[in-house]
A and B are shown apart, each in its own frame.
Chain A
Amino acid sequence: MTDHSEPEKVKKLATYIEGFDQVGDGGLPQGRCTLVTGTAGSAKTVFAIHFLAAGIMQNNETGVFVTFEETPADIRQNMASMGWDIAAWEREGKWMFVDAAPDPSEEIIEAGSYDLGALLARIESAVSRIKAKRLALDSLGGIFYRFTNEMVLRRELLRIARALKDMALTTVLTAERDSEIGEISRYGVEEFVADNVIILRNSREEENRRRTLEILKFRGAMHHKGEFPFTVIPKRGVVVIPLSAIELKQKSSDIRVASGNAEMDKMCGGGFFRDSLVLISGATGCGKTLLSTEFIAGGARNGEKCLLFAFEESREQLFRNATGWGVDFRAFEDAGLLKVVCEYPESAGLEDHLLRMQSLMTEYKPQRMAVDSVSALERVSGAKGFREFIIGLTSFTKAREITGLFTSTTPNLMGGESVTEAHFSTITDSIILLRYVEMFGEMRRGLAVLKMRGSMHEKDIREFSIDYQGMHIGNPFRNVAGILTGHPTQLVNSEAERMGSLFKEGL
């Protein structure tokens, strides 16, 4: 706690960029320069601006922004959508521009040797005028294409970097990359200009763009490794999703909650656990939406607040369906016990969906939540992004002790598993399978509790029917085998008996 302890240790400056400080193990190395590189459109400039804006908004730390590309007027205007009033901060002496943007009408003639002494003098002057703690330079490319002598520029940038260090400024310096892999930046300056390197990526995964942030190095300081998804959203700026920094420290509840179907409660050994995640898997039309409707109704009838995310059906359809099963969603809504959010999966990237769902949960504070269906969201992301989404969502609900129910549509009518399940099944606490069963030329429906973590559950595959009162779970299928694999075959009675006696004591 004293000032004299461990003088060599690199301190961190909290950036207050959402999620970044977790990934950076406290923030950016204080009093040092961090190089932020990325291809065109990788949100380098927003990151740099947010770094200053967050300092002003959260901790009243003043900042100087050196712009080599966009004009201050453009930056002020572009950032208004983020809710950042840069002009106001300038008037209050919290933000200062050093305008080094090129004037396109002006031709520069080089006649002899030069240095960047004027730039450094302007930065120093601005920093001392508003007593800045933070500095951002955006971006190196803007200066490299204006002067011809790269040797001089490298030498001068090194000199500027040293001077900034002496001023104890925490600095973000952005630079372009040519591609998502390979050289860190286009100009090969990173080796000597920055002790710390962050790479922003905007890569294409299948048909979707996915932004990630990776801390390549923090010299002499800790940070989390690997790529972390991030997104840029209006009013919030850069939001990093620190997935692997999430700790597995959820406590387990042994309190049971009603599933919304009395027979289902019995099958599960007394209902779902309160902070558990339940996955309902089945082919299209076999009753997943019904189960989630009953799950919501069961909560609302007990006075619990419920949140339903629907990615497949419109609000009208959902309400009509529910009415058909004897559930009045509108009454629950009027009582403040239900919030229904309908969205097309394609309306946003997966990171944006995740953040929106998280902020809705934070605002609304539901006790249970259903997502119908989570497999619809697979469409808008690649496999890796989807897995991150699942982890981000489930760890969030678990930490808040929200009972979660997710439905997943299997691609085949009769069985098999979907990608959703491959990512999901180890995270979920319970899995309920719904299957079509063909018997004597007739389609019937079967239901099984496949997994129920921490509890006994029924092992039978039960037949169920659906009517205007909802789902009715009936007797087990006794003379059919192969339902789960999707190849049901009827067993003749004698054979069924023989197998029954074979496994009598087992199970």
Chain B
Amino acid sequence: MSDYLLKLYITGKSPRTDRAIANMRQICERELDNQYNLIIIDVLEQPELAEQAKIIATPTLIKELPPPLRRVIGDLSDKEKVLLGLDIVASTP
């Protein structure tokens, strides 16, 4: 199983940001079994990275590896959709 490279773009500190980070961590721990690299990018601090990745909405999760590139937006509270977006089959129903 190849490693996941995940980038989570957020805008500053907000309840939504906190939710997105917590949800992401939970999914990573449960489903990716340490086979991942999660980078959190605050677009307020690094707008040029948001420009490069053409981020409009936040939070946005981008799965850069393995291909294909996938984008999931929102606070990731809909776990099923996140897994679908990351092409991951859920381990627990």
Binding site for B on A (CB under 8 A): 98-101, 103, 106-122, 124-126, 143, 146-147
B7 within 8 A of A: no
Interface of B is mostly: mixed
B21 within 8 A of A: no
Query: Closest Cβ of chain A: how far from B79's Cβ, in Å?
Result: 8
Given A115-B58, A119-B57, are A125 and B47 neighbors across the interface (CB < 8 Å)? yes
From A99, A110, A143, A146, name the one whose CB has the most chain B CB atoms within 10 angstroms: A110
Given A109-B71, A112-B23, A113-B74, are A122 and B57 neighbors across the interface (CB < 8 Å)? no
Chain A residues lying within 8 Å of B48, measured Cβ to Cβ, are 125
Binding site for A on B (CB under 8 A): 9, 11-12, 16, 19-20, 23, 43-44, 47-48, 50-51, 54-60, 69-79, 81-82, 84-85
**B57 x A118 contact (CB < 8 A):** yes
Chain B residues lying within 8 Å of A107, measured Cβ to Cβ, are 70-71
Checking B16, B54, B59, B77 against A100 with a beta-carbon cut-off of 8 angstroms, the contacting residue is B54
Checking A98, A103, A110, A120 against B81 with a beta-carbon cut-off of 8 angstroms, the contacting residue is A110
**A113 x B75 contact (CB < 8 A):** yes
Chain B residues lying within 8 Å of A111, measured Cβ to Cβ, are 72-79, 81-82, 85
From B43, B48, B57, name the one whose CB has the most chain A CB atoms within 10 angstroms: B57
**B9 x A109 contact (CB < 8 A):** no
**A114 x B11 contact (CB < 8 A):** no
**A118 x B74 contact (CB < 8 A):** no
**A110 x B73 contact (CB < 8 A):** yes
Chain A residues lying within 8 Å of B55, measured Cβ to Cβ, are 118-119, 122
CB nearest to B15 among chain A residues: A113
**B47 x A114 contact (CB < 8 A):** no
A-B contacts, 30 listed (Cβ < 8 Å): A98-B51, A99-B51, A106-B71, A107-B70, A108-B72, A109-B73, A109-B81, A109-B84, A110-B78, A111-B73, A111-B81, A111-B82, A111-B85, A112-B75, A112-B77, A112-B78, A115-B16, A115-B58, A116-B57, A117-B43, A118-B43, A118-B57, A119-B57, A121-B50, A122-B51, A122-B55, A125-B48, A126-B47, A143-B56, A146-B56
**A116 x B56 contact (CB < 8 A):** yes
A122, B44: Cα distance in complex, Å: 8
CB nearest to A147 among chain B residues: B57
A143, B59: Cα distance in complex, Å: 16
CB nearest to A119 among chain B residues: B56
**A122 x B84 contact (CB < 8 A):** no
Chain B residues lying within 8 Å of A118, measured Cβ to Cβ, are 9, 11, 43, 50, 55-58, 60
Besides A109-B73, A111-B76, 6 more A-B contacts (Cβ < 8 Å) are A109-B85, A110-B74, A112-B75, A118-B9, A118-B58, A121-B43
CB nearest to A120 among chain B residues: B11
CB nearest to B62 among chain A residues: A106
